């Protein structure tokens, strides 16, 4: 039993969608297909509803969405009954979307609830087109919407967490019944349904996570994540031309890379798969016969230990100062809660007697400053900012326990005349994190890669 996930970059037009159809049709075992919206659709929905609009703009926008989906449908399906059914299904979704957009336009108000609902329509439409194409290829595909299937979440708008127990109870029997009818479920990724029945998104690019949740629910043997890349690489090929593919990763290695900048996988994809020891394979839709990267429970230690270098640019260091800050109980908890309530993520932290250094994304700086203004009087005396910071993450099985690896890395960095500002080691046995100035990111990454992989 297998789950196959396809992202928007694989669904940008009729040609690319037909390539996906060939991959699905060639897979003979029981399978569930999980798809994102057609490339660019979610962004267009977000842009449209984020600005004040006139009534006639809604009509034009919905018409453009209809035309794009119908154009792709015409390119991938030729059987008239199949196309007619798909058109009727698309029209029904578009009517609902249009009414929702009119409501936003009339009220001139966009709530988190409505924002999540509108963004879900990209996936609702893509599964219809995908299913029609597969039916035309002789695959008994059926479009399935995540909220109807019973993908349940904690109700957090924008970045919800799936309630696995409730989802398993809801989704597994429905999918098994479909298998008995020899149907192939084509399921919407990216969203689920909160406790009160409202739509909640699983975070940007959350379809990877959706697919992993479904794989867990049905006890799949394998989860295939199909991308437009060969899998995980030893570094970003755009920065390091000599980057090489990685054949095998442990769950922890993949999770660290995904969290700290590697765009190959959504950071939360690993969790549901790890709970059931499901192998994750990241494969290239343009090279279906290439093995790609396999993510599995057992780690494999390389001779040079370091397997990959990921990074996050455009970071900011928040230096929070206060008298005796490091020795006051509860201060770090208070600061963390303030930032968490403002949806600001802390990527690394270090404390001293007089201050705390916090690493956050530059785009979240204004929210962070506003949140920390609410700290108890006397706790924070002042805040200093260090901008244009980059966070590097080196990952490899045994990296945290093998002697001399960290020293070798820091010797390389020192030889470049690059200053390291914040180091995080010990939180994970497979990762080492440190920060450098943004201007030093590329040369630092390339040199470390050259020493460990190309020497």
Domains of the chain, by residue range, sit at 2-220, 308-454
Instruction: Read off the pLDDT band of 397 (50, 70, 90).
Output: confident
Are 125 and 119 in contact, with CB atoms under 8 Å apart? no
Q: What is the pLDDT of residue 299?
A: 66
User: Which long-range contacts does 441-446 make (Cβ < 8 Å, 24+ apart)?
Assistant: 441/311, 441/313, 441/390, 441/392, 442/239, 443/416, 443/418, 444/392, 444/413, 444/416, 444/418, 445/235, 445/236, 445/239, 445/240, 445/309, 445/311, 445/392, 446/239, 446/240
Q: 30-44, 55-69, 282-296 — which is least confidently predicted?
A: 282-296
Beta-carbon neighbour count of residue 428 at 10 Å? 18
Q: What is the pLDDT of residue 455?
A: 66
Q: How far is CA 172 from CA 31, 185, 217, in A?
A: 13, 12, 6
Evaluate if residue 425 carries a pLDDT over 80.
Answer: no
Instruction: Read off the pLDDT band of 383 (50, 70, 90).
Output: confident
> What is the architecture of the domain spanning 308-454?
2-Layer Sandwich (3.30)
Determine what percent of the chain is predicted with pLDDT higher than 90. Answer: 70
Instruction: Read off the pLDDT band of 30 (50, 70, 90).
Output: very high
Are 129 and 38 in contact, with CB atoms under 8 Å apart? yes
Evaluate if residue 210 carries a pLDDT over 80.
Answer: yes
* Angle between the N-to-C axes of helices 365-372 and 331-341, in degrees from 0 to 180, rounded to the nearest 10: 130
Evaluate if residue 159 carries a pLDDT over 80.
Answer: yes
Instruction: Read off the pLDDT band of 426 (50, 70, 90).
Output: low
Task: Tell me the per-residue pLDDT of 188-207, one tens digit each, with 9 for 90 and over.
Answer: 999 999 999 999 999 988 99
Q: What is the pLDDT of residue 430?
A: 87
Q: What is the pLDDT of residue 267?
A: 85
Q: What is the pLDDT of residue 376?
A: 59
Rounded to whole angstroms, the Cα distance separating 425 from 444 reads: 18
Q: What is the DSSP letter of 278?
A: P
Q: ∠248-250-252 over CA atoms, to 5°?
A: 145
Evaluate if residue 149 carries a pLDDT over 80.
Answer: yes
φ and ψ of 227, to 5 deg: -125, -170
Q: What is the pLDDT of residue 354?
A: 78
Evaluate if residue 378 carries a pLDDT over 80.
Answer: no
- Classify the phi-psi angles of 231: left when phi > 0, otherwise alpha if psi is within -120 to 50, otherwise beta: left
Determine what percent of the chain is predicted with pLDDT higher than 70. Answer: 96
Average pLDDT of 149-164?
96
Judge whether 2-220 and 308-454 match in fold. Answer: no
Evaluate if residue 293 carries a pLDDT over 90.
Answer: yes
User: Which long-range contacts does 164-170 make (Cβ < 8 Å, 24+ apart)?
Assistant: 164/213, 164/216, 164/217, 164/272, 164/275, 167/192, 167/213, 167/217, 168/216, 168/217
Evaluate if residue 70 carries a pLDDT over 70.
Answer: yes
From 66, 59, 62, select the one nearest 86 (Cα to Cα): 66
Average pLDDT value over all residues in the chain: 91
Torsion of CA 203, 207, 209, 210, to 10 degrees: 110
- Classify the phi-psi angles of 425: left when phi > 0, otherwise alpha if psi is within -120 to 50, otherwise beta: beta
Domain 2-220 has CATH 3.40.1160.10: yes
340 or 114: whose pLDDT is higher?
114
Task: Tell me the per-residue pLDDT of 314-373, one tens digit each, with 9 for 90 and over.
Answer: 999 988 887 767 666 777 788 888 888 888 889 888 887 778 888 999 999 999 888 888
Average pLDDT of 226-252?
91
Instruction: Read off the pLDDT band of 285 (50, 70, 90).
Output: very high
Q: What is the pLDDT of residue 120?
A: 98
- pTM value is 0.89
Evaluate if residue 379 carries a pLDDT over 80.
Answer: no
> Can you tell me which residue has the tokens 């992202």?
7
Average pLDDT of 269-292?
94
């Amino acid at each position: 039993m297998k789950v196959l996930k396809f992202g928007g970059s694989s669904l940008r037009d009729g040609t690319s969608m037909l390539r996906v159809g060939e991959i699905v049709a060639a897979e003979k075992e029981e399978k569930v297909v999980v798809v994102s919206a057609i490339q660019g659709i979610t962004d267009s929905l977000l842009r449209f509803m984020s600005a004040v609009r006139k009534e006639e703009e809604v009509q034009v926008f919905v018409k453009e969405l209809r035309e794009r989906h119908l154009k792709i449908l015409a390119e991938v399906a030729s059987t008239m009954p199949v196309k007619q059914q798909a058109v009727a299904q698309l029209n029904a979704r578009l009517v609902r979307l249009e009414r929702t957009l009119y409501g936003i336009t009339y009220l001139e108000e966009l709530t988190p609830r409505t924002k999540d609902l509108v963004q879900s329509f990209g996936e609702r439409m893509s599964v219809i087109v995908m299913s029609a194409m597969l039916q035309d290829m002789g695959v008994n595909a059926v479009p399935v919407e995540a909220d109807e299937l019973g993908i349940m979440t904690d109700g957090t708008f924008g970045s919800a967490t799936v309630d696995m127990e409730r989802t398993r109870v809801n989704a597994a029997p429905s999918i098994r019944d479909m298998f008995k009818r020899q149907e192939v479920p084509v399921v919407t990724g990216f969203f689920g349904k909160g406790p009160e029945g409202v739509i909640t998104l699983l975070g940007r690019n959350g379809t990877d996570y959706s697919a992993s949740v479904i794989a867990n629910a049905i006890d799949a043997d394998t989860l295939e994540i199909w991308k437009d890349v060969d899998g995980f690489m030893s570094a970003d090929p755009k920065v390091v031309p000599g980057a090489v593919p990685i054949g095998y990763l442990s769950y922890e290695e993949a999770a660290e890379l995904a969290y700290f900048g590697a765009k190959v996988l959504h950071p939360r994809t690993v969790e549901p798969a790890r709970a059931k020891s499901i192998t994750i394979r990241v494969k290239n839709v343009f090279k279906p016969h290439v093995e790609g990267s396999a993510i599995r429970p057992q780690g494999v230690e390389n001779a040079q230990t370091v397997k990959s270098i990921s990074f996050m640019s455009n970071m900011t260091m928040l230096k929070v100062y206060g008298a005796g800050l490091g020795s006051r109980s509860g201060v770090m908890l208070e600061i963390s809660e303030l930032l968490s309530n403002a949806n600001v993520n802390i990527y690394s932290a270090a404390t001293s007697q007089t201050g705390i250094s916090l690493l956050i994304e530059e785009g979240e700086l204004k929210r962070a400053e506003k949140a920390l203004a609410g700290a108890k009087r006397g706790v924070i005396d002042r805040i200093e900012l260090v901008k244009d910071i980059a966070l590097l993450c080196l990952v490899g099985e045994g990296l945290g326990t093998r002697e001399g690896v960290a020293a070798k890395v820091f010797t390389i960095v020192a030889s470049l005349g690059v200053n390291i500002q914040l180091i995080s080691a010990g939180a994970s046995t497979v990762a080492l994190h440190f920060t450098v100035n943004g201007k030093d990111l590329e040369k630092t990454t390339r040199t470390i890669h050259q020493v460990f992989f190309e020497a």
